[in-house]
Amino acid sequence: MTSGPDVRDPADPPIPPSPSLPRRLRARLRGAGRRLRGAGRWLRAHARHALVVGVVTSVVGALATFAADQLPKLYEDPPPSCPGAGCDGKNPQTTGCGVEAATFEPTEGNPVRLHLRYSRRCGAVWGRITAGAVGDSVTVSVPGGPSRSALISANHDVFTPMVTVGDTFRVRFCAVPTTSPERARSWVKYCFEATEGSPWQ
């Protein structure tokens, strides 16, 4: 009678039939074979789970990368609505030009805290006073360009519409006291000039 082929688990290393192998070595080889077969069964049983874990890990990693790229953009300030010459005569607050604007405020001879605001994003400036009184006004102008002004109608502060600075960037800004005799001021009109090299803060 012819016997069938010898079927072995591929994970089970062949054991030489030689009687010269020590009994202890044969026992170790059998133990190693059992461990390999157990590992193979575990891998087959958990392959689907491992695949799912791998897919989930990949998706989570992709989402984390997307969030890292996109979330900071959600908090970025929107671009101004009027860059350059389009900002002339407009309100710096409603156009987004007031965001991250720099300030030049002279520290001497400045009783009503006259200062100039400059938006690099918009290429424009505007004048402001923050310690004036009703009737006081502020003006801002550039050589060869328009002049803008604003009058305090309530409280103590006001700012002008914007003036585009252009390439020359030379600005004159002034504080003008009220002319009302009922609110005579102890100071007279005064002005300052600013360039791009002024001590902006």
Structural domain of 156: 84-195
Q: Which of 56, 76, 96 is the last residue of a domain?
A: 76
Whose CA is closest to 86, among 100, 96, 78?
96
Among the ranges given (14-28, 41-55, 64-78), the one the predictor scored with the smallest mean pLDDT:
64-78
Tens of pLDDT, residues 152-167: 999 999 999 999 998 8
Asked if residue 8 has pLDDT above 80, the reply is no
**CB count in 10 Å sphere of residue 8:** 11
Q: Which residue has the higher pLDDT, 58 or 190?
A: 190
Which contacts qualify for 75-83: CB closer than 8 Å, 24 or more apart? 79/121, 80/119, 80/121, 80/122, 82/122, 83/121, 83/122, 83/123
* In contact, 173 and 91? CB cutoff 8 Å: no
For residue 4, tell me if it sits in a domain: no
Residue 37's H or E segment, with its range, is helix 23-74
pLDDT band at 40 (very low <50, low <70, confident <90, very high): low
Asked if residue 118 has pLDDT above 70, the reply is yes
Q: Which of 22, 55, 76 is the last residue of a domain?
A: 76
Q: Could you identify the residue written with the tokens 């938006």?
A: 119
Query: What percentage of the chain reaches a pLDDT higher than 90?
Result: 50
Average confidence (pLDDT) over 50-55: 52
Query: What percentage of the chain reaches a pLDDT higher than 70?
Result: 61
For residue 1, tell me if it sits in a domain: no
Question: Both 52 and 145 in a single domain?
Answer: no
